[in-house]
Structure 1
Amino acid sequence: MKKLILAATALALSTTVTTSISAQSAQERLDDRYNRALAAGYKALFMCSAISHAEANGTSRTAESVMEWELTGIQAPLDQMVRDMPFEIVRHDNGTVERVKVEWAEDSQPRAAIHLDNDRGCALNPIMGPGHYYGRPANAVQSRMRRYQSIAEAPRALRPSFERAFSGAYGEEARTTTVLVRYNGKNVGERYVKGFDHATPQRTWSVAKSIAATVVGAAVQRGDADVGNSADLGFKRGEPRAEITIDHALRMASGRYTDTPGNRTDPLYWGGASILETALEWPLVYKPGTVYRYANNDTLAAVQAIAGTFEDHPPSELFAKLGMTHTVAEIDWRGQYIMSSQAWTTARDLAKLGQLYLNDGMWDGERILPEGWADYVSDPSGPQPEGTLWGYGAGWWTFRRPEGNAFEGIPDDAFAARGNRGQYVVVVPSRNVVIVRRGEDMVGTRFDIAAFTRDVLAALEE
């Protein structure tokens, strides 16, 4: 077994707060320890996923690159903690990543992210849990053969928009890694920051919610699901949560309580807790279908409602049909898909996802999604978010709200997948256009995807 130890000292574990620890309250000490555990999980998971998925795609990422992009400018207080935490990348004899371990406390097991395989990616162990929950896979993971493909050079009309996307003109300190435009079924322009290319995957963050809506749509087309059916959140007959449908969950309208706006799911994402523990048991506070509240738990509930279909039809089957060969939906340590955020993919694969919607669910002569599914996911017919010009459909954001479209220069039928740190997929059916922007934007910065979309659409008219 080959090991790469990239931070060999545990000094950081004992020196962080030694001078002030006696002045901390019990709650402050507890919070600090919990945050360190989360930071270690965050670091282990990103190191494992970014490096192993890139290598599986035939390209590469270094630990230094992951620190520079994925682990810089993240949420406080984890952003300070992740920098000096000792970590170890453990590899199989064939050189592929087996796991990444991060030290965080002298009296605890390291946080560990285990690379299961190329279809399920990396999973994180629980806090205080040993790093061998999945054990070592029986066979070393095999890398895919790299497919070298030329980069589509942007036509002259698009170049100014592309330049501005990388210069910060669409958002001060926004950090663009990739832009791609697909027009009339072809990628007509794409550009990558140094160190990234067409095979370099990034975490989708909440773009995964739109992928989840697509996975649900595929199940509906097969006859395995109905969005009007209960999401099975009630424990027994007569419980009001049983009234929550898959449609309610996709529209962020389940009516369930969440403890923070946006439903921070740190225990699941970075703590190693499972979906079954954290996402499904929140109580009802509004009648389902009456109030919008953006919540990771709602998307997770919609996916969990069709989990019984995944043995025969895992998400990887859908990705393969669409040629999204560089896309991986990852799981928790109990095997459930964290498809509210934890998927890794490339700009080209996301462009194919958008193309599926331009095709009204058809791909290579096969109906993948029900007829009209694009209209369904882009229809802001349910309760809507407050304080924004954006509308919300079923797993996708819309440029129009029920009262109209406030985005000048963008057609009413445009809709988008949006994710943390600047992940965007914009679909414009009336113009036959898909626009992808990937980034690693710092906390507190935002890329103006509406302005970029407007400029791209105007350029394509020239």
Structure 2
Amino acid sequence: MSKTLRMTLVSALMVTAAAQAEETETTLNAYAAGYTAGFTCSGVFNGNKSVAQIREHELSGIYSLIADRVATMEAKIDKENQWVRVPYDDGNRERISVWRPKLGCVDLPVGATVDDAKFVADPFRGDKMTGKDNGEPWQQKAEVNSTTDNAELESVLQQAFTKTYGSGARTSAVLIATPDEIIAERYIEGFTPETAQRTWSVAKSIGASVIGAAVQQDKIDLDAPAGISNWSHPLDPRGHITLENLLHMASGLDSNKAGNRTDRVYMGGGLVSDTATETALEVAPGSRWKYANNDTMLALRALHERFDSTDDYLRFPYNALLEKIGMQHTFAETDWQGDFILSSQVWTTSRDLARLGVLHLQKGQWQGEQILPEGWLDYISMPAPVQPPDAAPGYGAQWWLYNERFPELPNDTIAARGNRGQFLVIIPSKNLVVVRRGYDLAGEQGFNEHDFVRDVLKAL
């Protein structure tokens, strides 16, 4: 074989490999339709939002891979049957998202029809959703959108709804609270204390709290192997991955270059059980920190496999945690086989996030009941054995740590952080919770939660 022919064949193989690594037009259209269906469904039925609000907030300023396609798609909303359909590929195909009480919307797989919705687990069928937020546990509450008597704090709050903390910032809500008092609570026009929006990766910290509740009830052991059934062969090295490895973002699994991109599950109608569980090890468990959505999904998958039925598993976060602390406007969404996607897909309110913060300030106790292990706050705040790069916040167990790397904040500051500017910040030494919600623009500088919390503390 001539050198020229060999080079031609090598080039052809490289082109073929590159093509195989890229999504087809049909797949990209399916992603965009799935994104549109899912966010429209959740926006309407979880958040009680108008189509105009959803278009402005949920479907603009988004992930560049599908942004242009989403802008051209139209959702068909069936409020009676509580589903959303989005046609794509010139109307030849469609994606469907179906709502369920408490569990929010589930994206059906490509090729499914509305008749297939009956096969999705629905353990809360017939349950009525809560209306107005009751304001518990706070004994004092600043009036919503009222002006504070603290001029310096007032200035900081006003700046939070401008571009002061980031050129791409679009703030929708801010809440500052202690366990006893809501100090300040602000929303943009059209939003209320009952308006749920997606948490994105703040869900990871909610997921860790669900794991904590399971540990408290002796349903799972942090130090034991995760016990994923797909990894049960004695030769499979993934069998050595512990639940703690997963919570520390240290599974060692291959999660592609960007571990926060899990498009197949997030908008492609894929399953946790046939995506996150199928990847191979890159390095030994516990030897590397790498932010990966799959690690969170696998931690919850491990918990799922401890239950006798999917319905029992789906009830657990509500019975063991969310409803106990009054998170009545929180929707933890799943894939179509009943695995929680607690790396991102939770819809909740600012008050419900603040309640989770208060639970941690109270050492996992709520109205005399120990919901999380007594030392859980210390556990999630302890730096994992392997850490992110020095410029980033530190990492504990699915919570970010603003420790000695950030001297302008108290050393015990921890945060749940999510895409588009979702933040739940807990400062135990100040007995303080700070929540910020937003729709920050992809590709621009998002809201700087460090500087905002620093300024809040100075004002207080």
**TM-score if structure 2 supplies the norm length?**
0.87
**How is 1:287-306 mapped onto 2 (pairs within 5 angstroms)?**
287-306=284-303
Distance change >3 Å, CA 223–CA 141, structure 1 → 2: closer
- Determine which of 206, 210, 216 is the counterpart of 2:205: 210
1:133, 1:333 within 8 Å by CA — same for their partners in 2? no
1 CA distance for matches of 2:417 and 2:177?
Answer: 17
Q: How much does 1:197 deviate?
A: 1.2
Q: How much does 1:29 deviate?
A: 10
Tell me whether 1:102 sits opposite 2:104 in the alignment.
no
Aligned to 1:435: 434
Q: Secondary structure at the match of 2:412?
A: coil
Tell me whether 1:390 sits opposite 2:393 in the alignment.
yes
One-letter code aligned to 1:382: P
Aligned to 1:21: none
Unaligned runs of 5+ residues in structure 1 are: 1-24, 55-59
Q: How much does 1:77 deviate?
A: 3.0
Q: Secondary structure at the match of 1:159?
A: helix
Aligned to 1:323: 326
Q: How much does 1:422 deviate?
A: 0.3
2 CA distance for matches of 1:155 and 1:225?
Answer: 48
2 CA distance for matches of 1:387 and 1:32?
Answer: 39
Aligned to 2:107: 124
Q: How much does 1:30 deviate?
A: 5.7
Tell me whether 1:377 sits opposite 2:360 in the alignment.
no
1:48, 1:114 within 8 Å by CA — same for their partners in 2? yes
2:248, 2:384 within 8 Å by CA — same for their partners in 1? no
- Determine which of 189, 196, 199 is the counterpart of 1:194: 189
1 CA distance for matches of 2:22 and 2:296?
Answer: 33
- Determine which of 111, 115, 131 is the counterpart of 1:145: 131
Q: How much does 1:263 deviate?
A: 3.6
Tell me whether 1:417 sits opposite 2:416 in the alignment.
yes
Q: Secondary structure at the match of 1:35?
A: helix
Q: How much does 1:133 deviate?
A: 2.4
Aligned to 2:215: 220
Q: Secondary structure at the match of 1:69?
A: helix
Q: Secondary structure at the match of 2:213?
A: helix
1 CA distance for matches of 2:297 and 2:250?
Answer: 13
Tell me whether 1:448 sits opposite 2:448 in the alignment.
yes
Q: How much does 1:184 deviate?
A: 4.7
Distance change >3 Å, CA 362–CA 338, structure 1 → 2: same
2 CA distance for matches of 1:261 and 1:345?
Answer: 26
Render the CA deviation track for 1:9-59: whole Å, top value 9, x for unaligned.
xxxxxxxxxxxxxxxx987996222111101000000010011012xxxxx
One-letter code aligned to 1:457: L
Q: Secondary structure at the match of 1:242?
A: helix
Q: Secondary structure at the match of 2:252?
A: coil
Report the more deviating stretch, 107-116 or 306-315. Answer: 306-315
Q: Secondary structure at the match of 1:132?
A: helix
Provide the alpha-carbon RMSD of the alignment: 2.2
One-letter code aligned to 2:429: S
Unaligned runs of 5+ residues in structure 2 are: 1-17, 136-142
One-letter code aligned to 1:32: E
- Determine which of 257, 275, 280 is the counterpart of 1:278: 275
Q: Secondary structure at the match of 2:116?
A: coil
Render the CA deviation track for 1:52-89: whole Å, top value 9, x for unaligned.
012xxxxx311111010011010113111112212210
Q: How much does 1:382 deviate?
A: 1.9
1 CA distance for matches of 2:23 and 2:414?
Answer: 43
Tell me whether 1:230 sits opposite 2:225 in the alignment.
yes
- Determine which of 363, 366, 369 is the counterpart of 2:366: 363
**TM-score if structure 1 supplies the norm length?**
0.87
Tell me whether 1:43 sits opposite 2:36 in the alignment.
yes
Report the more deviating stretch, 182-191 or 432-441. Answer: 182-191
Q: How much does 1:140 deviate?
A: 6.7
1 CA distance for matches of 2:22 and 2:447?
Answer: 36
Aligned to 1:265: 262
2:232, 2:239 within 8 Å by CA — same for their partners in 1? yes
1 CA distance for matches of 2:428 and 2:72?
Answer: 47
Q: How much does 1:408 deviate?
A: 2.8
Q: Secondary structure at the match of 1:122?
A: strand
2 CA distance for matches of 1:152 and 1:353?
Answer: 22
Distance change >3 Å, CA 187–CA 119, structure 1 → 2: same
Aligned to 1:112: 96
Q: Secondary structure at the match of 1:306?
A: helix
